Structure 1
């Protein structure tokens, strides 16, 4: 019952936290942090010679309205970041605006989970046998986004779906295929160990009451030189219509898989 009321609060009753987000951007700048996208972080110089850095990564699982509000606050504070869009949240107008500003708009991919659900496969070994075909679908989807956006995408982010949790098979296993990665021109997937090892602290937002894991960004300021902050629009402002649509879709997928 407690879990139900927590979900009800986070999905429909939580007050907007966007002012908190903008305050974080201001405070990080005041502490001397350069705030940037994943793509820019991968450019030299790397390592100790770089100024204190926060990499902002937004996974746009849902709620384009709040994603646009997060972006607007970053523009106001002169902050760059990365926004990763699922096929279900693609908005080429917003994505072009993000790129024109100097931030990064790219792909939040989930082909493994999508294939498993579409073909009613619940065995991870069986899914793995289809990875070549799934990889081809990833390449098609990536090209579609690149064509719509008019740029080459260099970094991508794996999405975590309920199907991945049941299968114990994460979507980024797809890019363990170096040939597929090279053919698609992917420089980095955001869960690559080589990227994660560059951060002194990796923080992800969480639903209330926890809000962050393993610590708040403010607690990390000044203590860590290289921070990655992963955020999701749904954790920062409620959107009744979009949340209800996503909840119903998740219910339908669970019943039909």
Structure 2
């Protein structure tokens, strides 16, 4: 019951946390952190140019709620902050994505072809899904290329989406990009969960639903204690959006029913 009440509060009653987000951007600047996108940080790693700097890398996974994503982007633009925004097929907004790129930030793909394929074909065993990886990789390539063409610029980093189907199957979307040939074919230089990227961070923080909000620590506590911080955020954790939360909950319920029918 407590879990259900927390979920209802987070989805429908929680006051906006965007003032807290802006305060965090300001605090980071005051503490001397460069606030970068994943693409910028990865480029600095390749150039060996980030060894001495304090860096806060912003990664936004746009699972849902474009309205709040735009508000976060407006705050970042106001404070000269760059970030990476990763869009699912269901949240693609090319006008917004081009505005993100024009501001010096990054717009790219939050892919989930493994989970999508498994649900579409009612595959319930991880081995059965992996056996279909050649087909799933082709699906990924088609989606990735189409998005890049519409966006009008190459995408060099991507981020795997985590779906309930991935957790049930114990197969993550990121497994697709273990294929170097696929990366070369698409021009992908970095996946946001690559070990070669993550090892350069002193702490990796993700937002969480009410009442936890952050894991493993608050970014406010990390600032000044760690030099290289990655902060993963999801717009839905920062402001309630009744219509979007209801839509997502209904889609999740429908997918569960169809997958197990």
> In the alignment, which residue of structure 1 is the partner of 2:31?
31
Contact 1:108 1:156 in 2 (8 A): yes
2:170 to 168, 171, 174: 168
Structure 2, unpaired ranges of 5+: none
Secondary structure of 1:106 counterpart = strand
RMSD in angstroms over aligned alpha carbons? 0.8
Q: How far off its partner does 1:49 sit?
A: 3.3
Kindly indicate whether residue 41 of structure 2 is the aligned counterpart of residue 41 of structure 1.
Answer: yes
Instruction: Provide TM-score, normalisation by structure 1.
Output: 0.99
Contact 1:47 1:198 in 2 (8 A): no
Q: How far off its partner does 1:209 sit?
A: 0.8
**For residues 195 and 25 of structure 1, what CA distance do their matches in structure 2 show?**
22
Secondary structure of 1:96 counterpart = helix
Q: How far off its partner does 1:155 sit?
A: 0.2
**For residues 42 and 178 of structure 1, what CA distance do their matches in structure 2 show?**
17
> In the alignment, which residue of structure 2 is the partner of 1:118?
120
> In the alignment, which residue of structure 2 is the partner of 1:55?
57
**For residues 43 and 153 of structure 2, what CA distance do their matches in structure 1 show?**
18
Q: How far off its partner does 1:50 sit?
A: 3.5
1:248 to 247, 250, 256: 250
> In the alignment, which residue of structure 2 is the partner of 1:235?
237
> In the alignment, which residue of structure 2 is the partner of 1:10?
10
> In the alignment, which residue of structure 2 is the partner of 1:152?
154
Kindly indicate whether residue 198 of structure 2 is the aligned counterpart of residue 203 of structure 1.
Answer: no
CA offset digits 1:22-80 (Å, max 9, x no partner): 00000000000000000000123437633100000000000000000000000001100
Structure 1, unpaired ranges of 5+: none
**For residues 46 and 173 of structure 1, what CA distance do their matches in structure 2 show?**
27
Kindly indicate whether residue 82 of structure 2 is the aligned counterpart of residue 74 of structure 1.
Answer: no
Size of the aligned set, in residue pairs, is 257
**For residues 33 and 22 of structure 2, what CA distance do their matches in structure 1 show?**
14
Contact 1:58 1:230 in 2 (8 A): yes
CA offset digits 1:98-144 (Å, max 9, x no partner): 00000000000000000000000001001001101100010000011
Kindly indicate whether residue 100 of structure 2 is the aligned counterpart of residue 98 of structure 1.
Answer: yes
**For residues 37 and 49 of structure 2, what CA distance do their matches in structure 1 show?**
16
**For residues 180 and 215 of structure 1, what CA distance do their matches in structure 2 show?**
35
**For residues 240 and 222 of structure 2, what CA distance do their matches in structure 1 show?**
26
Contact 1:202 1:228 in 2 (8 A): yes
